Amino acid sequence: MNAAGLKKGLKATGRRVTRTRQAVLGLLERTPQPLSATEIFEQLQKENVAIDLVTVYRTVHVLKELGLVAQIELHHEGQARYEIKEGREHHHHIQCQMCGAIVDLLLCPLKKITKLIESQTKFVVDDHTLEFTGLCPRCQ
């Protein structure tokens, strides 16, 4: 686990290194797909880590602030998901409408387009979301 990064980030912001923060970060690190708060809660329960769902929400919030975790909002899911940023490039996702499978897309085609949008709209672009839905090979 990236315990060093966690500890450093927490210390730097006057926060404490706790079992639950380590447990949530550890779970996200060993899970390849992005997890919702409820899924984090349920998985940790299975692993006999005592944690409240409220604490999961507060923990992912902190991990996001420290830049260790990214929050993902998939099309029509009605819940946020979280995944580790450490060692992974900025990327997007495709989700199967049938089975819900989520696959990473290892490209982001938007860098050039962002410049174009800035010149067209006079906005300063800060962020973007780009998510696809479709049918995975098994569900076609």
Partner DNA sequence: TCATCTATTGCAAGTGTATTGCAATTATCA
Partner DNA sequence: TGATAATTGCAATACACTTGCAATAGATGA
Query: Residues interacting with DNA, by CB under 7 A?
Result: 10-11, 14-21, 36-38, 50-55, 57-59, 61, 78-80
Q: How many CB atoms lie within 10 A of CB 91?
A: 13
Q: How many CB atoms lie within 10 A of CB 34?
A: 21
In angstroms, give the least distance from the CB of 87 to its own copies. Answer: 21
In angstroms, give the least distance from the CB of 38 to DNA. Answer: 5
In angstroms, give the least distance from the CB of 44 to DNA. Answer: 9
Which DSSP state fits 115?
H
Q: How far apart are CA 113 and CA 36, in angstroms?
A: 30
Give the nearer residue to its own copies in terms of CB position, either 19 or 75: 75
Longest dimension (CA), the chain: 53
Among 96, 103, 108, 136, binds Zn ion (CB under 5 A): 108
Q: Applying CB under 5 A, does 104 fall inside the site for Mn ion?
A: yes
Q: How many CB atoms lie within 10 A of CB 56?
A: 24
Binding site for Zn ion (CB under 5 A): 108, 110
